Amino acid sequence: MIIPAYNEEGYIGNTLESVKRAIGAYGNAGGVEVIVVDNNSTDGTAAVATGYGARVVFEGENMIAKARNAGARASRGEYLVFLDADTTIDSSLLRRVDGLLESGAVIGGGVFIDYDAHWDLRVLARLMNYLCFVFRKQWGAFLFCERAAFERAGGFDKTMYGLEDVALAKLLRADGKLSGKRFVVISDCRVVTSARRVAPRWKMLRTRLPMMWGLKRKVRDPVRCRPIWYDVDR
C-alpha cells in the first residue's frame, strides 16, 4: 500500500490506523507492506508514519505523480494499492481488493468516495461517484491494480500535476479490455476522505469537474494545480 504525503501529520495517523484495522481484518499482516512517501514535508509526517510501522521513502519534488511512482518503485508486491494520506478505509476493503485481484478477472479498480463534511459536500461526492461510474472515470483517493498493468501503463503520468489517478485508471481500463480483464469500482464499501480540497462549498464544481472532463492543459500547469493539491489548510 502506497501513501503519498505532504505535511499530513494531522491526518495520516487516522489513515494509518484505518489501514492497521483493515490489515487485521484481512488476516495476512505479512502480506501487506505499507509505504509512506514523504513528499518533502516540513512537519512531522515522516515521524508519525514511522511510529505506525510504515516504511518511509522520500520524494523531493512536490508532484503527486512522482510521489506515487516513487512508492511503487520502492514496493515489492504483485499488487499495488494507492491511498491518499487524508483518507480512511473500511476494515473489509483490503480483503475485498485481494479477492478481486486474485480472481484473475480484474486488472484494477477504485472505490466510491465520501467526504468528512457537511451534507452538501457529501451530496456532491455522491454526484461525482455517479458521474465517474457513468462516464467510466475513476478518481483515486483509493486505487488498486496489478503491478504488471501499472508498469505497462508507464506508472502515473509525470507531466500531470493533478488527476494523474484519473489518467492511470483510463489506461488500466483500456489494458483490461485487451487482456480480457475488468476495471471495477467497488460501490458498497466506501472510503472517507478530507473535504479540505473542495471547501469552500461548490469548489469541486469550479475546479475538479472541468479538469476531469477535457481541460487537460490545466493539470499540466503546476501554478494552477498547486493551490488545489498542496496549498490547502492542514
Mean pLDDT of 11-38: 95
Q: Map grid coordinates 501529520 to a residue.
A: 9
Task: Identify the band that residue 112 occupies on the pLDDT scale cut at 50, 70 and 90.
Answer: confident
pLDDT tens profile 59-107: 999 999 999 999 999 999 999 999 999 999 999 999 999 999 999 999 9
| All cell numbers assigned to 2 | 502506497
Q: Cβ-count burial of 103 within 10 angstroms (0-12 exposed, 13-18 middle, 19+ buried)?
A: exposed
Is residue 34 within 8 Å of 68, Cβ to Cβ?
Answer: no
Q: What is the pLDDT, as a whole number, of residue 114?
A: 80
Q: What is the DSSP string of 89-135?
A: --TTHHHHHHHHHHTTSEEEEEEEEEESS-HHHHHHHHHHHHHHHHT
pLDDT tens profile 162-203: 788 989 999 999 999 999 999 999 988 889 987 766 555 555
pLDDT tens profile 38-52: 999 999 999 999 999
Give the CA-trace dihedral at 180, 185, 141, 105, to 10 degrees.
-30
Q: Are strands 106-115 and 182-193 parallel, antiparallel or unpaired?
A: parallel
Per-residue buried b or exposed e for 147-158, using 16+ beta carbons within 10 Å of the residue's own CB: eebbeebebbbe
**DSSP type of residue 220:** G
Is residue 144 within 8 Å of 106, Cβ to Cβ?
Answer: no
CA 15 – CA 10 distance, rounded (Å):
10
Structural domains present in the chain:
2-229 (3.90.550.10)
Q: Cβ-count burial of 224 within 10 angstroms (0-12 exposed, 13-18 middle, 19+ buried)?
A: middle
